[in-house]
Structure 1
Amino acid sequence: MRRSERLAEIIEILRDGRLHRAQDMAERLEVSLRTIYRDLETLIATGIPVEGARGLGYMLREPVLFSALNLSLTELEAQHLGMAIVAEGADPELQEAAQSLARKVAQAAPIAREAPPRWGHGVYPFSRARAGFAHMPLLRRAIRGRELVEITYHALEGSVTTREVQPLQMEYWGAVWTLTAWCTLRTGFRVFRTDRIVACRGTGQHFEVVAGQSLADYLARHPEESP
């Protein structure tokens, strides 16, 4: 879970107005107590009305209205798809409004501040957005279940190859979604644009994460992509 998603989850936990122990939140979100304390400090620093103390608990002292801070990656995905659909319409006023909304959300969402400089919401042709979403349910399941996936990939230079990959993480860059994976054909990390995956199927075979092939190993080599 990315930090931006975790912050949104903490807000959802506190929405009921009751006192919540940091330890309980840490167990629910499967992170350390220290991480929860740091996240709570971040929420307070950004103006979210959280009050409490270590050892006692935390609560929202007033309701939190909708804001980009509350958006998870999945909600950002839905927002992007919706704007892509609007961009296909013939109403110039709505198209302009969708582009303006995209810029505002990009400025307000924590994920935009945490991501590399390439980050940025945008409005792109719906056919391109739709292609990028087609394989995402299978890829998400494969990441969670550590299942080897076979993909047929259409590279930018025009070549089409079939690869067996160990899917590790999906990333949203505003323009496109990408899949970071360990490619067994190239015996190395590769990043694939999901809208350029022609076909995708689960193999039913599972893989063990070994030293040198994990997501942590990839991020160590590419620290600019760490959340």
Structure 2
Amino acid sequence: MRRADRLFQIVQYLRGGRLVTARALAERLEVSDRTIYRDIADLQSTGVPIDGEAGVGYVLRSGYDLPPLMFTRDEIVALVAGIRMVKSWGGIGMARAAAEALVKIELVLPEAERRRVADANVFAPPMELTDDVRALIDLVEAAIEARDILRFAYAERQGAKTQRRVHPLGLWFWGKVWTLVAWCETREDFRMFRLDRTVGLAITGEQFKPAAERSLGACLRQYEARYGPQG
């Protein structure tokens, strides 16, 4: 859990006027008592009205609420544009999560900023992505997170198909197609695979161990060495 998320959760747990011990907070958040003491001190230093002390417990004074999210107009337009792009060009799960994220953002925005979300005139027309490719985007993204080895047949530009086992490292979107960036066991080198050219892509049930020489960073360095810095 990110520290910012942990601090937010501490404030939520202290609501209701009940005394909560540092040990109880530590158990809920799966951190040490010392981490909770440090977090409480940091929250108090920023003006959050938490009363109590170590060894006794803590309570949040009544009437305190987290301030609403505040974004500038440009930030709101950027958020809406990014979410609309994911909804149009991302995986099925990504699109659903993007829509839910926008709803959550709108709920905590003040009324004036909420209207800006509806008035953001930046759109992302749907790409010609089939549902099968959208599902692959989600599957590959999950495999990257879990370090699952993937296998599939890959259709080369000339039409020939080769069997591949790869360590998925990243997903790149090129405006029209998504590519999987991976370490290919078959070629013993980094490769990029268009998702729409994969056949029978599936998780093998095996996991790969991270290695610096086979990481996404190493792939990017190799790419820049061959083709020069990008961007």
Q: Which protein has the larger Cα radius of gyration, Structure 1 or Structure 2?
A: 2
Using the size of structure 2 for normalisation, the TM-score is: 0.48
Using the size of structure 1 for normalisation, the TM-score is: 0.49
Which structure has more relative contact order (CA 8 Å, sep 6+)? It is 1
